[in-house]
A and B are shown apart, each in its own frame.
Chain A
Amino acid sequence: MSTSTTTPAKNPAVDAIARSATRDKVILAIAAPVLAIVAAIVISSLVFLASGENPFRAYGIMADYGHYSDSQVWIINKAVPYYLSALAVAIGFRMNLFNIGVDGQYRLAAFAAAAVGGAIALPGAIQIILLIVIAMLVGALWSGIAGLLKTTRGVSEVITTIMLNAIAASIIGYFLQDGRLAIKDGNLLHTKFLPESSHFFSFPTHPKPVYGFVVIAVLAGALYWFGINRTRFGFDLRAVGASESAAEASGVSVKRMVVSSMLLSGAAAGLVGMPTLLGESFQYGTDFPAGIGFTGIAIALLGRNHPVGMAFGALLWAFLDRTGSRLEFEGYAQEIVGVIQGVIVLCVVIAYEIVRRYGLRLQQRKVGEELAALSTADKSDNKPEVSA
């Protein structure tokens, strides 16, 4: 008797509850970043004040400098590799794998692609695709070592990927010498220049062009979203991330998922160096940008592994890089931007965790309250209650 009257699907009161639950979800989703940004601004301001500077003047300078079109082009171009790196890290994060080795993976991948690209000259599109594929394969190969070691020998991927970073650097250092795979150019060593045909297209903006690779980054983000949220593979991946034991009992081969997600993460990492290689430097030299893999970790945290969130994170990071350099000219300490970036990541991580826990508790309490309310409403249909 009582069960049929409380059947939730048919109760109009329940629809209202479901709606209010959705509303809470949206509010909480916005609350987290807002909370984080406010906290980050407050703390950064305190840091400025502590160093005896006026924070508002600093923010003014940054906003003003970020306004110039050359700054904006710079920011977008910088954000592209940041974003790809964050994607690579996020693929691992979704499965509770911490791929610290994106840095080594992209550098080795870019180096391999540069070495091959400098040695051959195929028609444009074919060569570009070939180089991108090589980069992805090399990145996947490098991260796959960590995946295999984890599944076969139980070695933590945190240890192996960070070690592989060092090994990658040594390998590049060995081959990037005159007479091996590098040529000497002043006091720089770099691989042979790619032929003109393998330059990636760019958007003719002023004063400098925007990387055409931004298109690839957007596509990669969309693919990431689709793969994670809409495919069986993505569900398995998320299930392992949410509960390895439950995933295993549900039929997911956890070991296979570890290897595949490490391979995918490495393949995405392989793309990180491509905008620079195919759009700007056209060779891999000792001055090839390093450390983007670690920036990617911060941005993946900042964007909560969400493709859009990470895009904002990458742009914000690039903005801070750009405008921070300006602060130096205005008499601020150079390190202040690093402090701000660190504060932002910390604030975001803490704010999201607070909001997540609050949301879970809120939901549990609401479900309890609503069910209690429903059962009270049913009381008239029920047998009279016995009370002492």
Chain B
Amino acid sequence: MANHDIHLTVRRGTVHALCGENGAGKSTLMKILYGMQKPDEGSIALDGEQVTLQTPGDAIARGIGMVHQHFMLADNLTVLENTVLGAEKLHGIGAGARARIKELSDAYGLHIRPDVLVEDLGVADRQRVEILKVLYRGARTLILDEPTAVLVPQEVDALFDNLRELKSEGLTVIFISHKLGEVLSVADDITVIRRGTTVASVEPSETTPKQLAELMVGSELPSPETRESTVTDQEMLRVRDLHLSATDSDGVVRTVLDGISFTIHKGEVLGVAGVEGNGQAELVEAVMGTRTPDHGTVVLDGTDLSGASTRARREGGVGYIPEDRHRHGLLLEAPLWENRILGHVTERPNSKGKLLDLAGARKDTARIVAEYDVRTPGIEVTASSLSGGNQQKLIVGREMSHRPKLLIAAHPTRGVDVGAQAQIWEQIREARREGLAVLLISADLDELIGLSDTLRVMYRGRLVADADPAVITPEELGSAMTGAASGHLTAPEDGATEDGAAEGRTSQDGASDGAGEQGGEQK
């Protein structure tokens, strides 16, 4: 993605948010600032001095540090060891380093425990270690790339407290996000990037989420809210007593899924909330048939698929939007039309008998590109040249084109811009009206609450709680995700452990008046 005419001024001692659609060029800009990529033209000035950043080493030497979206920590080392790794020359690896870490931790309220193994830390703690690493190397300017993507609301608040602490000590934070609420709550200045260029600089006090969204995409803030319930009493997917154990790298057998049972009806979206790593990915794999559970049954529309292959399950009507589209959803170096075949090679229009139908697949790819608004110059370009949102739209279009009975959507709008997000939500809603059952896994609590008809909370491989999305708040859900609450979270009637929540609620209209008009305008 090319960047052009970027103008960005960050004041010292502030939190500066950088927001924009995915593929707008935020990451490219950050790579340039961190010395990972060189600009063709233009200049960077730090404290009024022109600088050339050739490598991340240059950036670090000038006090710029980056906390990546994906943590770069060695699990089997302690926090102290991770921190000094590669920076041994600064304060050694012993008492000097420990003292410095303590000092930094106290100064910025990071609550670091230097001798704990990183593998024993939760996501939020790991993130603090990443921040510590950057500070330890002497950074005065921190770049945080979508730091809240993996956190629950309480953890986000804690992170923001840390950021304010950093700011008050005179450090500068550049904060990348496309979650508008967060941006408004923590930033002192906001710069919006669209299609590789800075389109606006605003102050949070003078703007609203809606205006920000307009700046980002030129359309209104989409809402994930489901308007009327389409839940029927016909069972589509029935999962019973699923157990899965896995052997970890130390040879210890751990239970990953424990007694998972649920039912999804036609027209129902079942949302599974949970902090990542609590078995959601394994649950998806078990239902998809890429992992074989120890026992338990999976029945789709009356057909027992427990022993079926992944292909048989897909042919049987399971659509799949994987969590990691690069690893599981696309062939990145293959053209779009080959990606359209992926996962549905045995089905029309991709093949006739044992032979591929190239013409049919190409034609249908063109249709998907048009219908699902995949922004691409053509269907012969490789999937890797599309932005994340457009890749995801292609995947959604592909899966929906085969009229699935069940859609497994794992983080369907992760790393996707606001415009694409709205379209994907609309697609899911539309299919749901026609009787699609959806298993939705998401870390975005607004998405979960807005789209789901039924909510389940997953904690340490078990479904520990259920909730009614009509009444629950993200905060309540967040505390259940950390294991603090269990059972039925809000509704008064008790004992509804299996499917009660779905039938217990038939309508939640009126809760989201006005959202309809907004959503409609996206199309």
B311 within 8 A of A: yes
B523 within 8 A of A: yes
Contacts of A54 in B (CB 8 A): none
A18 within 8 A of B: yes
Contact of B346 among A7, A8, A232, A366 (CB under 8 A): A232
Contacts of B377 in A (CB 8 A): 8, 14, 17-18, 21, 366-367, 370-371
**Total A residues in contact with B, Cβ cutoff 8 Å:** 53
A7 and B345 within 8 A (CB): no
Nearest B residue (CB) for A362: B385
Contacts of A231 in B (CB 8 A): 354-356
Nearest A residue (CB) for B202: A388
Interface residues in A217-265 by Cβ distance below 8 A to B read 229-236, 238-239, 242-243, 245-253
Nearest B residue (CB) for A20: B377
Nearest A residue (CB) for B7: A388
Question: Number of A-B pairs whose CB atoms are under 8 Å?
Answer: 157
Contacts of A7 in B (CB 8 A): 370, 373
Q: State how many angstroms separate the Cβ of B232 from the closest Cβ of chain A.
A: 28
Nearest B residue (CB) for A250: B343
CA of A371 to CA of B377, assembled, Å: 7
Contacts of A245 in B (CB 8 A): 327-328
A367 and B355 within 8 A (CB): no
A252 and B199 within 8 A (CB): no
A239 and B331 within 8 A (CB): yes
Chain B interface residue count: which class? 35 or more
B384 and A360 within 8 A (CB): yes
B354 and A387 within 8 A (CB): no
Contact of B385 among A238, A248, A364 (CB under 8 A): A364
Nearest B residue (CB) for A235: B345
- Can you add 7 more A-B contacts, CB < 8 Å, to A363-B381, A372-B196? A3-B522, A3-B523, A231-B355, A249-B329, A251-B310, A372-B2, A383-B214
Contacts of A251 in B (CB 8 A): 309-315, 343, 345
Q: Mark A residues whose CB is within 8 Å of B.
A: 1-3, 6-10, 14, 17-18, 21-22, 25, 229-236, 238-239, 242-243, 245-253, 360, 363-372, 375, 382-383, 385-388
Given contacts A242-B333, A250-B343, contact A383 B328 (CB under 8 A): no
Nearest A residue (CB) for B386: A367
Given contacts A242-B333, A367-B385, A387-B199, contact A21 B378 (CB under 8 A): yes
Q: Which of A10, A25, A251, A372 has the most CB of B within 10 A?
A: A251
Q: Mark B residues whose CB is within 8 Å of A.
A: 1-2, 4, 195-196, 198-202, 214-215, 218-219, 288, 290, 309-315, 320, 322, 327-334, 338, 341-346, 351, 354-356, 358, 366, 369-370, 373-378, 380-382, 384-386, 419, 521-523
Given contacts A9-B366, A9-B369, A10-B370, contact A230 B355 (CB under 8 A): yes
B196 and A368 within 8 A (CB): yes
Q: State how many angstroms separate the Cβ of A237 from the closest Cβ of chain B.
A: 11
Q: State how many angstroms separate the Cβ of A374 from the closest Cβ of chain B.
A: 8
Given contacts A21-B381, A250-B343, A385-B199, contact A371 B375 (CB under 8 A): yes
A14 and B378 within 8 A (CB): yes
B373 and A3 within 8 A (CB): yes
If over half of A's interface residues share one DSSP class (helix, strand or loop), that class is named, otherwise mixed; here it is helix
Nearest B residue (CB) for A378: B218
CA of A222 to CA of B329, assembled, Å: 31
CA of A246 to CA of B391, assembled, Å: 14
Nearest B residue (CB) for A385: B199
Q: State how many angstroms separate the Cβ of A279 from the closest Cβ of chain B.
A: 33
Q: State how many angstroms separate the Cβ of A330 from the closest Cβ of chain B.
A: 46
A232 and B218 within 8 A (CB): no
Q: State how many angstroms separate the Cβ of B514 from the closest Cβ of chain A.
A: 19
B345 and A249 within 8 A (CB): no
Contacts of B333 in A (CB 8 A): 242, 360
Contacts of A232 in B (CB 8 A): 345-346, 351, 354-356
Contact of A242 among B195, B334, B370, B385 (CB under 8 A): B334
Contacts of A18 in B (CB 8 A): 377-378, 380
Contact of B380 among A22, A364, A365 (CB under 8 A): A22
Nearest B residue (CB) for A233: B354
Contact of A8 among B345, B354, B375 (CB under 8 A): B375
Q: State how many angstroms separate the Cβ of B490 from the closest Cβ of chain A.
A: 35
A387 and B329 within 8 A (CB): no
CA of A8 to CA of B386, assembled, Å: 13
Q: List 6 A-B contacts (CB under 8 A).
A: A8-B375, A8-B376, A21-B380, A232-B345, A239-B342, A251-B310
